[in-house]
Structure 1
Amino acid sequence: MTILVNGIAVPAQDDVSPQLAAVHELLRQRALALGWLEPDAGAAQIEQAIERVLSAEVQVPAVDDMACRRYHAQHLARYQSGELVFARHILFQVTAGTPVAAVRAMAEAMLGELRAQPELFAERARSHSNCPSGALGGELGQLQRGSTVPEFEQALFESSAAGILPALVRTRFGFHIVTVERRVPGQQLPYEQVCERVADDLRGEAEARALRQYVQVLAGQAELQGVELDAAVSPLVQ
């Protein structure tokens, strides 16, 4: 189905979700309306204008020490030292020109198979994974926070689940089927040792929330066809 944003067709792209493409077009049109972009501008100029729009119109609330302490208390598991996860994965790589939908369908099919027959994981990793770890049955060894890309780290550490994770993990490299073999709890860190990290995390969530709200306002004022935008969509999240 063709996506239209205020009557403007949005080209489909294999490596970009329809929601993200629609949000990008909304922001481009906002930059045009503010007079910060010419209609015939190139890609680099469009990105600069969108950054200007976000900087000028998205208000991110400041965080204070009390809010940071409260956030720390609510997310104690995130602020530990020495926490380890032993995991394996199967990577379905996505590169420029890759038919993303087809790759995802293959990954979903294999995830279903492995959820039913987890004993096949190492064999499938050796035969299908696009990561060098495939030769080792997908073995990644022991992982700690900060040792992987953020999307992969979140899937590993923001849950206490063991075994094959129920959903694919999407990263900049592609789609991953992940199994957690063992978890080693870490030592709880006091707020004073992690206060700067807590503040960064809280600011990041506040920014994401402000972006979602801003996009909702733009979407509410626009005529959209072929796509739905809700609170889960922001210009920085695919």
Structure 2
Amino acid sequence: MTIQMHNPRANSADIHVNGRVVSEDSINREVQYHPAASLREARRRAATALVVRELLLDEAERQGLDEQNREGEETREEALIRQLLDKAVERPEPSDADCRQWFEANREKLRTPDQHEVSHILLPAPPDDAEARAEAQKKAKELIGQLQGDKSSFLSLAREHSLCPSAEEGGHLGVIGKGQTTPEFERALSRLPVGQVAEYPVETRFGYHVVLIHRRDEGRPLSYEEALPQIETYLVESVYRRAVSQYISILAGQAKIEGIDLDAATSPLVQ
């Protein structure tokens, strides 16, 4: 979606959605859930998410949905948003033909996950502290410089510099599979070299990581039957996300939004 602050000082102003306030403090708290390449981009994503939430809550309350109708550990806000989206957006089931077509077009993506035996050195930095992140990145690059061509000191450097509990084991994390670490760290593992220290540090929401992959066990292709639950879930969620995005765009087009510009007519609000 397109999101722009009105002026260079807009970060100091609250955003209003139909009279509901999205404060600077709330954006600062939300930033940690939206990792990005820059603090500006993280703030953009955080502000967008909060605007969307206020749009949905405002509409749920306008429709008089029951805030007490909660499932499991849902909060009041989660319950209202779930009820609103259940009422407004359908979840169509894909046909077998749809699933088979997607399978044939995406065979290379349908594999069991790779597994990696990994060691790392964590230089932590809060996602909203640009100075601390720059310092952590600098330190990570210095350590990589020491390790390039000679990884024998990795264990001692991890014990000295890493602020992860794995430092006691020389940074060794063991074998990591899908879903066992942050998405950004997991994505990086698949493209890093095996047997040598990565040339660049890996950035995550926690800071910067000096990474050494000891071994990669590549996944195998899935059969159609094995992949079918994954395909069905993907197709249902893909259609659902587009429908939710369209619905939120309609709400945004009808709303009074101040402090931030949303191109509600042409840009999706949910990505």
TM-score (norm 1): 0.69
Q: In structure 1, what is the equivalent of residue 128 of structure 2?
A: 101
User: Contact 1:15–1:100 at 8 Å: present in 2 too?
Assistant: no
Match of 1:207 among 232, 240, 246: 240
1:110 to 104, 120, 136: 136
- What is the CA–CA distance in structure 2 between the aligned matches of 1:74 and 1:165, rounded to whole Å? 33
User: Judging changes above 3 Å, is the alpha-carbon distance between structure 1 residues 214 and 9 closer, same or farther for their aligned structure 2 residues?
Assistant: same
SS class of match (1:168):
strand
**Aligned counterparts of 2:119 and 2:218: Cα–Cα separation in 1:** 18
Cα distance in 2 for residues equivalent to 1:26 and 1:128: 42
Alpha-carbon distance between aligned partners in 2 of 1:91 and 1:140, rounded to the nearest angstrom = 15
- Indicate the structure (1 or 2) with the bigger Cα radius of gyration: 2
Q: CA deviation at 1:213?
A: 2.8
Q: Distance in 2 between matches of 1:176 and 1:209?
A: 34
Q: Which amino acid aligns with 1:118?
A: I
Name the SS of the counterpart of 1:188 in structure 2: coil
Partner of 2:8: none
Conserved 8 A contact 1:72-1:198? yes
1:32 to 2:61 alignment: yes
Work out the CA distance in 1 between the residues paired with 2:204 and 2:246: 25
**46, 51, 62: which one aligns with 2:82:** 51
Match in the other structure for 1:62 = 93
1:168 aligns with 2:168: no
Could you tell me which of 183, 206, 215 is aligned with 1:151? Answer: 183
* 2:106 pairs with 1:72: no
Provide the C-alpha distance between the structure 2 equivalents of 1:175 and 1:45, rounded to a whole number of angstroms: 33
**Deviation readout 1:168-213 (Å, 9 max, x if unpaired):** 334xxx4564746353322212112221122223323333333333
CA distance in 1, matches of 2:176, 2:185: 9
Q: What is the distance in 1 between the residues matched to 2:159 and 2:257?
A: 41
Q: Which residue identity lines up with residue 10 of structure 1 in the other structure?
A: V
Q: Where does the alignment leave 5 or more consecutive residues of structure 1 unmatched? A: 94-98
Pick aligned residue for 2:223 from 185, 190, 206: 190
Amino acid at match of 1:192: E
Is the contact made by 1:84 and 1:183 (CA closer than 8 Å) also made in structure 2?
yes
The aligned residue for residue 134 of structure 1 is: 167
2-structure distance, mates of 1:15, 1:133: 28
Change (3 A) 1:194 1:91: farther
**Match of residue 29 from structure 2:** 15
Secondary structure of the 1:24 match is: helix
Number of aligned pairs?
219
Match of 1:96 in 2: none
Q: Secondary structure at the match of 1:142?
A: strand
Which residue identity does 1:101 align to in structure 2? D
Aligned to 2:151: none
Instruction: Give the C-alpha shift of residue 66 in structure 1.
Output: 2.4
Letter in 2 for 1:55: D
Distance 2:251 2:98 in 1: 29
AA matched with 1:68: C
TM-score by length of 2: 0.62
Tell me by how many angstroms 1:31 deviates. Answer: 0.9
